[in-house]
Amino acid sequence: MARSSLLGFVVGVLPGAGATIAAFMSYAVERNVATGKRREEFGKGSRWGVTAPETASNAAAGGAYVPLLTLGIPGSGTTAVILGALVALGVQPGPRLYVDQSAMFSTVVVSMYLGNLILLVINLPLIPYIARTVAIPEQILSPLIAFFCLVGVFLVSFNTFGPVADNRAVRGLHRPQAARRSDGPAAAGLRARQAAGGEPAPGAAGQ
């Protein structure tokens, strides 16, 4: 856990890296340093393979505040949202934050300690109940995951057709070439006559 915490914090300090990269790197490091039977357990439910990424992910969340508070550069998506909230409140994160608004800086640091203590008090009694989620049948768990993914996309863009639009963008249906291929022979002929000067453009006759 100490190795994963240090690695996660260092990755979290890098602007734009985020907790996901920290989790993958921690898993890879833990698998490489493991030997013997412990290494064979990776990919088969190893508790080290679960603990290391989660530890690094949590450490990266705290490390992302370092570039935010010192340079004004968000270290993750979450700190980018926090940066927007601070700017909206008239607080400009950066090198002068500790000098100009030391109370705000101290409040953020103290809130991290209090948040970790509160999470510790809340999560320890709930561990047995949270672990039971792995016993939920796949037929119930998969629709729930899909539902929360769709809700998350909607909350980010506030667009009902956001997931559909993103899917179309991935498939490349938004490209101009696809739009040109959808034109029929009549539209192509009309453009040719307009270019030759034989037929006015639509709406030009009434001007």
Kindly give, in sequence order, each residue whose CB lies less than 8 Å from that of residue 79, ignoring residues fewer than 6 positions away: 64, 65, 67, 68
Q: Is there a domain that residue 177 lies in?
A: yes
Q: What is the largest CA-CA distance in the chain?
A: 84
Q: Is there a domain that residue 169 lies in?
A: yes
Q: Is there a domain that residue 150 lies in?
A: yes
Number of CB atoms found within 10 A of residue 101's CB: 16
CB 67 within 8 A of CB 75: yes
Of 154, 176, 173, the residue nearest 163 (C-alpha): 154
CB 122 within 8 A of CB 114: no
pTM of the entire predicted model: 0.57
pLDDT for the residue numbered 192:
58
CB 15 within 8 A of CB 66: no
Number of domain units in the chain: 1
> Rg of the chain over CA atoms, in angstroms?
26
Rounded Cα gap, residues 85 and 147, in angstroms? 28
pLDDT for the residue numbered 187:
55
Q: Residues 185, 188, 194, 198: is their CA dihedral positive or negative? A: negative
Of 66, 99, 75, the residue nearest 21 (C-alpha): 75
Q: Is there a domain that residue 159 lies in?
A: yes
pLDDT for the residue numbered 189:
58
Of 69, 70, 79, the residue nearest 17 (C-alpha): 79
Q: Is there a domain that residue 63 lies in?
A: no
Residue 90 backbone zone (phi > 0: left; psi -120 to 50: alpha; other: beta): left
Q: Is there a domain that residue 155 lies in?
A: yes
How does pLDDT run along the chain (207 residues), one tens digit per residue? 788 888 888 888 887 777 888 888 888 888 888 877 777 778 777 777 888 888 888 888 888 888 888 888 887 777 888 888 888 888 888 888 878 877 878 888 888 889 889 988 888 888 888 888 878 888 888 888 899 888 877 776 666 665 555 555 444 444 444 444 444 555 555 565 655 555 554 544 444
Rounded Cα gap, residues 20 and 11, in angstroms? 10
Q: Taking the CA of residue 185 as centre, how many other CA atoms within 13 Å lie in the half-sphere pointing to its CB?
A: 0
Rounded Cα gap, residues 199 and 191, in angstroms? 9
pLDDT for the residue numbered 175:
47
Domain that holds residue 184: 136-198
